[in-house]
Structure 1
Amino acid sequence: MRRYGPALLLLLVGAAVLRISLFSALYLRYVQSGLRPYLIVSGVLLVLLGVAAGVRTAREVPDHDEGPHDHGHDHTTGPRLAWLLSLPAAALLLFPPPALGAYSAAREDAQRAAQGVGTFPALSADNPVDLSVASFTSRAIYDSGRSLKGRTVRLTGFVTHGDGGTWYVTRLLVSCCAADATTSKVQIRGADAPATDTWVTVTGIWHPKGKLGSTAAWPLLDAKSVTTVEEPSDPYEKR
């Protein structure tokens, strides 16, 4: 069985990659949608390499003529340790980890993009107008044209909690993959806080706070309604 270890490891890793990219949308928890074709190709190649390695091993004839003194050292440690590489692949295949959530958002609580104050494009005439959390945050903090004033907006994200009973609708933004994720969040007023990591859609009106572009500026929303929703298949916003 040990002879087939490398082949089985390739098959396991390839199957795990295909499991999240070809047969489901779980890959969106880790990378952007544009990388799906590369994941599928990588998974297929790993499976083919595993099959080829298994066939080659099956055709090889083991040398049984070697005596116990033909080896100058023990070769078993390397292959045994190599099997440890199968554990992450097996975990990904059987128990894919969830998307990043409240814990990851809390680690970047103070991070904001320095965009500078300026005017933003006009919002659509929809009522309410659907905005990403990142877009609402940028307009609330930096838009000198006050495009949010008097508009009813709708935001979707997961719930995070702050001090003193405050809570936020939060989204993580990615440029390439989950490893570079940063946080955008909007404080919600006038509604009871759902449990942490609950996905919600919040409809409400912008509540100005602080001087634009300053550290005192903060995105707030006076809620009209809060609805619990399912986590989207693609939980991240894109830059």
Structure 2
Amino acid sequence: MLPPMLLLLTGAAILRVSLFSDICLRYVKEGLQPFLIASGFVLVCFGLAGVLRHGLRFIMRRESTSSAPAGTAAAPDGHDHADVPGIAWLLAAPALVLLMFAPPALGSYTAARDSPKVVEVYDHFKRLPARGPVPLSLTEFTARVQQDRAKSLSGRTVVLSGFVTPGKNGTWDLTRLLVACCAADSQSLTVTMHGVPAPPPDTWVKVTGTWHPSGALGTASAALALDVRSLERIPQPLSPYQDRPPTA
């Protein structure tokens, strides 16, 4: 009975975080959610089939035992009924964790212990709006600061979003984690913030400011930093890992 119950628990946990909520986006990219839902259904179906098979087998064994003449033993049913070790129930622990308490998305603890991601090289950049603050992903801000020879961010006000990671010497970092598939392959992308005190770690914020002048803008020597003019706390986005590069 143990294997079917483990399948049921695992399938129910997967459906809980992928079908009945979007918790799975803390662990995988959005495009993988349908596959998780399908996997959950398959596991639940196999688990139910296993429970039903064990139930029917138990009923048949009871009937065979009650109908056998006194003093005779019921014929074996041809199946191996070796007990599964009780320690196998430990395999249910991860499923129970997802059912009762889903771990949060990766945050500042991971980012502080990761090497910053090297942003890919771009051949050209789209023209920015003529006026007003420019919303940018951390990926595009990083690429424009260090690769745009036209220095399009010179004197421009930009708006960036991410979570807070403690920095050094009184500074703090605005961070996003980029993933290719899931949280296991995450890489951090950070921009150092100047001019305002650091909010608590893992706080999601939207900051408005200008490039912090250090190094030569448009070259690899340019600092990935921002002089912050205003800061606003925001809720964690539904997909915390999606900070995709701009379309060239």
Q: Same fold (TM over 0.5)?
A: yes
| Paired residue type of 1:95 | F
Mapped pair 1:100 → 2:97: no
| Paired residue type of 2:29 | Q
Q: Distance in 1 between matches of 2:29 and 2:130?
A: 30
| Paired residue type of 1:31 | V
| Paired residue type of 1:210 | G
- Superposed, which structure 2 residues align to 1:23-172 within 5 Å? 23-61=20-58, 62=61, 75-76=82-83, 78-109=84-115, 111-113=116-118, 115-116=120-121, 119-125=124-130, 127-172=132-177
Distance 1:126 1:47, change over 3 A: farther
SS in structure 1 at match of 2:11? helix
Q: Distance in 2 between matches of 1:125 and 1:103?
A: 38
State whether residues 12 and 86 of structure 1, in contact with CA within 8 Å, keep that contact through their aligned partners in structure 2: yes
| Paired residue type of 1:181 | S
| Paired residue type of 2:196 | A
State whether residues 14 and 46 of structure 1, in contact with CA within 8 Å, keep that contact through their aligned partners in structure 2: yes
SS in structure 2 at match of 1:169? strand
Q: What residue in structure 1 maps to residue 79 of structure 2?
A: none
**1:115 Cα offset (Å):** 3.7
- Superposed, which structure 2 residues align to 1:218-233 within 5 Å? 218-233=223-238
**1:114 Cα offset (Å):** 5.9
Distance 1:133 1:95, change over 3 A: same
Q: Distance in 2 between matches of 1:201 and 1:88?
A: 34
**1:116 Cα offset (Å):** 4.8
Task: State which of 14, 31, 36 in structure 2 corresponds to 1:17.
Answer: 14
Aligned alpha-carbon RMSD (Å): 2.2
Q: Which has the larger radius of gyration?
A: 2
TM-score normalised per structure 1: 0.86
Distance 1:126 1:15, change over 3 A: farther
Where does the alignment leave 5 or more consecutive residues of structure 2 unmatched? Answer: 66-72, 75-81
SS in structure 1 at match of 2:169? helix
State whether residues 117 and 213 of structure 1, in contact with CA within 8 Å, keep that contact through their aligned partners in structure 2: no
* Identical counterparts, % of pairs: 48
